Amino acid sequence: MTFVSFRMNILFFSVFLLFSLLIFRLGIVQIIYGDDYKREIDRKENVTINTSMPRGNIMDRNGMLIVGNKPSNAITYTRPQNIKAEEVLKIAEKLATIIHKDSKEDLKAIPEIDKKDFWILKHPTEAEAKITDTDREKLKNDKDYDTKMYHLTLDRITSKEINSFSKKELEILAIYREMITGYPLSPQIIKKNVSPKEFAMVSENLDSLAGVDTTTDWDRYNLYKDKEGNEILASVIGKVSSSKEGLPKDSVDYYLARGYSRNDRVGKSYIEYQYEEVLQGQKEKVKNVTDKNGKVLESQVIREGKRGDDLVLSIDIELQRKVETIIKEKLSKARLGQPYLDRAFVTVMNPYTGEILSMAGKQFEQNSTSGKTNVNDFALGNLTTSYEMGSVVKGATVLTGYQSGAITPGEILNDRPVKFLGTKVKKSWNTTGFGPINDLYALKRSSNVYMFLTAMKLGGQQTYIPNGRLSIDKVAAIETFRKNFSQFGLGVKTGIDLPGEQIGYGSGQIPPEAGKVLDYAIGQYDTYTPLQIVQYISTIANGGYRIQPHIAKEVREPSNQANELGPIIQEIQPKVLNKIEMKSEWLKRVQEGFKQVVNDPLGTGYGIKNKQYKIAGKTGTAQALYNGPISHSPGLMLWNITFGGYAPYDHPEIAVSVVVPWLTTDQSHVNLEIANEVFEAYFELKQKRAKENLTISTPKINTSKSETNNDE
């Protein structure tokens, strides 16, 4: 008994000591560390989130809204920082009973890897069983153990297993994958364009849908469409990424460094891209206070967001619409019996300011599946495609002849077929020749031979000898031509405020034979863009100043009132790139030649004479090698027909370029028909607006040194 009592005493004493130690430890925790643990429990974090705002509007020069933001109801989810996937799934399952996200597009958008992840989430036990003890033993010391186990599991999920989901389960997955996309505490769009019924039902159940909210989102839209529903100026306006696309992969670092989020919508091309910094809104900055588990306790707006600034274009949208219609109608008729003719381009520019009033292009393309011919917007072709332009460049040829001393104003040369040793006969369109003619007559009648002889003299050969050798310095001659042509904007970038501008083919290339220098003089060697042609024509029209073309006119603060413009932030001023190095009397003589082209009964452009509008210009026809999209035999030669002109010739308001490539005949006048109707459209709009007291002034060119850049 005594021994038993002793053992019991030891036991009780041990228990007493243990309880004493426990009480002592609890005392330490309570007294010494109590405040620390309390602070841990009460710990809060401040997390700042930036919320994107709608983009600025794009308007035409008269304040007409071209591109805006169309509001749409949307459901969003803001994911807490430390929430488990299973908890998000429960919310997705409940949300799937209220909204529909089971369209073919929604379900087709789910990638296989998301289906496998979803299968693991729904079948954790079966997923665990796919990993053997051997697998675990083999990888137990691998630093990437978890990652490799995950990929091993994915590899062993069968097609049968991921195809076993019901349509409802796939709908839940479609919702769930949207919820886990993006950053914690940043609202993520679950569904856009929700029905009023869905919007109302979600709003009624927000208390039981943690993190879910109803909001108004926006989509970019173009107000102006043609009769077929195609957007006006679509290719030049460009595209904006969706919230799913977010930042372009090749520019992520650039945008992140400027405060963008990965799912922000940004301009992807052309105007939307070029003026991203203007159009992107100022983000709303929200401070979220969270507990230690990442649950949001309160939110506070610390900076109000603001819609992006509005961009006012130099484009006249009414004129643009008319020009697009003109091209489409004229091209449709001209294409009859023309298997390769599929496009035409028009650019209208103010020759004193460089403002692009209209930039239009249409391309006819046959759908390989339906066989139906679609008419696509191809306004971009004015700066991204180039063609041999033909005689339209002869004004630059004559001026180069004056400047180089090859010819003098009024000099008479004999227009007759010319034949050099080892070459084919070269002649004007009047195959017997025009006989002795001067420079004005050569421009008016579009003499090729006058230009050939000018190029020959420029190259160092002063006398034509029938069947004799063409003895010119082709390198020096082509370099002189290109240097002078570049002063007008031919063969160099125009400087337009759009990305992707091309300069054409030929710059820097030396012709394989001397005869090509003669071809250059009539616009049948180097290629130019329609935009270069309108800059060249403008330079002649305005007295010798090469003006930088621009499609943006001004930047304005966003207005809260519909159809109203906010205060001006920035106004795009005319910029003189260079003044041509030629005498003003030479330029006036070429202007007179251009005037005769249209207004003299013998002029090649007489068909568009209009006493009221006073048009001057130059026609062009070039035989060129076809390099278009339609299947053809090698070496197919076709005709490009062009026109460049301005009006009124005594004080030009507009310069116009028309380019219609790839006809099988040089007898078509579709270039003049288009030009004629474009001039009519402009002046009729002007008269209409004068009655409505809407006038557009033409500023004088600023020729101060600060605005002039003579460097190419």
At residue 19, the pLDDT reads 76
Which helix (H) or strand (E) element contains residue 320? helix 317-334
Q: Are 470 and 515 in contact (CB under 8 A)?
A: yes
At residue 139, the pLDDT reads 86
Residues 371-389: tens digit of each pLDDT: 788 999 999 999 999 999 9
At residue 171, the pLDDT reads 93
CA atoms of 522 and 396, how far apart (whole Å): 10
Task: Give mean pLDDT, residues 441-467.
Answer: 97
User: Measuring CA to CA, how many Å separate 464 from each of 413, 420, 468, 480, 515?
Assistant: 11, 9, 8, 20, 13
**Residue 413's closest CA among 443, 440, 450, 457?**
450
User: Which of 317-326, 352-361, 404-413, 507-516 shows the lowest per-residue confidence on average (mean pLDDT)?
Assistant: 507-516
- Residues 302-341, buried b or exposed e (16+ Cβ, 10 A)? eeebebbbbbbbbbbbbbbbbbbbbbbebbeebbeebebb
At residue 702, the pLDDT reads 53
**Residue 669's closest CA among 658, 680, 679, 685?**
658
Please give the tally of structural domains in the chain. Answer: 2
- Beta strands of 223-318 (E only): which ranges? 284-291, 296-303, 310-313
Query: Is beta strand 310-313 parallel, antiparallel or unpaired with respect to 58-59?
Result: parallel
User: Measuring CA to CA, how many Å separate 496 from each of 239, 324, 698, 707?
Assistant: 19, 21, 19, 16
- Report the greatest alpha carbon distance in the chain: 150
At residue 66, the pLDDT reads 95
Of the pLDDT bands very low, low, confident and very high (cuts 50, 70, 90), residue 246 is confident
**Residue 678's closest CA among 328, 362, 327?**
327
Active site residue 370: no
Q: Are 223 and 66 in contact (CB under 8 A)?
A: yes
Is 190 within a domain? no
332 and 260 assigned to the same domain: no
Retrieve residue 42's tokens.
């009460």
304 and 355 assigned to the same domain: no
Is 106 within a domain? no
**Residue 242's closest CA among 213, 218, 277?**
218
255 and 404 assigned to the same domain: no
pTM value is 0.85
For the CA atoms of 593, 599, 602, 606, the dihedral, rounded to the nearest 10 degrees, stands at 120
Is 124 within a domain? no
Task: Give mean pLDDT, residues 10-27.
Answer: 73
CATH of the domain at 293: 3.90.1310.10
Residues 687-698: tens digit of each pLDDT: 999 988 755 445
Task: Give mean pLDDT, residues 516-521.
Answer: 96
Does the structure show a pLDDT above 80 at 504?
yes
CA atoms of 352 and 465, how far apart (whole Å): 45
Looking at per-residue confidence, does 467 or 38 come out higher? 467
At residue 370, the pLDDT reads 79
User: Measuring CA to CA, how many Å separate 250 from each of 92, 255, 273?
Assistant: 33, 10, 14
Give the other-Cβ count within 10 Å of 40's Cβ. Answer: 10
Is 562 within a domain? no
- Beta strands of 253-379 (E only): which ranges? 284-291, 296-303, 310-313, 343-349, 356-366, 373-377
At residue 511, the pLDDT reads 87
Of the pLDDT bands very low, low, confident and very high (cuts 50, 70, 90), residue 709 is very low
**Residue 491's closest CA among 543, 452, 447, 529?**
529
Cis link prior to 648 (omega < 30° from 0)?
yes
Query: Is beta strand 568-571 parallel, antiparallel or unpaired with respect to 552-556?
Result: antiparallel
Is 186 within a domain? no
Task: Give mean pLDDT, residues 462-479.
Answer: 95
340 and 285 assigned to the same domain: no
Q: Is 636 exposed, middle or buried, given 0-12, 13-18 or 19+ CB atoms closer than 10 A? A: middle
Q: Are 585 and 543 in contact (CB under 8 A)?
A: no
Looking at per-residue confidence, does 292 or 166 come out higher? 166
525 and 657 assigned to the same domain: yes
384 and 440 assigned to the same domain: yes
Does the structure show a pLDDT above 90 at 608?
yes
Percent of the chain with pLDDT over 90: 69
638 and 602 assigned to the same domain: yes
Q: List the domain range (segments joined by +) for residue 327.
A: 322-368+375-557+567-707
CA atoms of 349 and 535, how far apart (whole Å): 8
Looking at per-residue confidence, does 535 or 35 come out higher? 535
Give the other-Cβ count within 10 Å of 12's Cβ. Answer: 10
At residue 103, the pLDDT reads 87
| Catalytic-role residue among 235, 243, 391, 657 | 391
CATH of the domain at 456: 3.40.710.10
296 and 408 assigned to the same domain: no
Is 600 within a domain? yes
593 and 534 assigned to the same domain: yes
At residue 712, the pLDDT reads 35
Residues 250-302: tens digit of each pLDDT: 999 999 898 888 888 999 999 999 999 999 988 777 776 766 655 666 767 77
Looking at per-residue confidence, does 10 or 608 come out higher? 608
435 and 463 assigned to the same domain: yes
Task: Give mean pLDDT, residues 419-426.
Answer: 92
CA atoms of 288 and 563, how far apart (whole Å): 37
- DSSP secondary structure string, 322-346? HHHHHHHHHHHHHTTT-TT--EEEE
Residues 196-237: tens digit of each pLDDT: 999 999 999 988 998 899 988 889 999 998 888 889 999 999
Does the structure show a pLDDT above 70 at 701?
no
Is 46 within a domain? yes
**Residue 622's closest CA among 644, 604, 637, 602?**
637
3-state class (DSSP) for residue 430: coil
User: Which of 4-18, 120-134, 582-596 shows the lowest per-residue confidence on average (mean pLDDT)?
Assistant: 4-18
What is the 3-class SS of 653-669, one letter each residue?
A: CEEEEEEEEEECCCCCC
Does the structure show a pLDDT above 50 at 706?
no
Q: What's the gap between Cα 48 and its chain centre? A: 33
At residue 317, the pLDDT reads 97
Residues 614-658: tens digit of each pLDDT: 999 999 999 999 999 988 888 999 999 999 999 999 999 999 999
Does the structure show a pLDDT above 70 at 516?
yes
Looking at per-residue confidence, does 12 or 266 come out higher? 266
396 and 460 assigned to the same domain: yes
Q: Are 388 and 525 in contact (CB under 8 A)?
A: yes
Is 282 within a domain? yes
Q: Are 67 and 222 in contact (CB under 8 A)?
A: yes
Q: Tokens 């159940």 belong to which residue? A: 205
Contacts of 138 (CB under 8 A, 6+ apart): none
Say how many Å lie between the first and final Cα of the chain, rounded: 116
Task: Give mean pLDDT, residues 94-102.
Answer: 92
Task: Give mean pLDDT, residues 586-604.
Answer: 98
User: How much is the mean pLDDT over the chain?
Assistant: 90
**Residue 61's closest CA among 287, 229, 312?**
312
Give, as one character, the DSSP assignment of residue 265: -
At residue 491, the pLDDT reads 96
At residue 442, the pLDDT reads 98
Give bridge partners of residue 217 from the DSSP assignment: 72
Contacts of 97 (CB under 8 A, 6+ apart): none
Phi-psi group of 492: left, alpha or beta (phi > 0 → left; psi -120 to 50 → alpha; rest → beta) = beta
279 and 332 assigned to the same domain: no
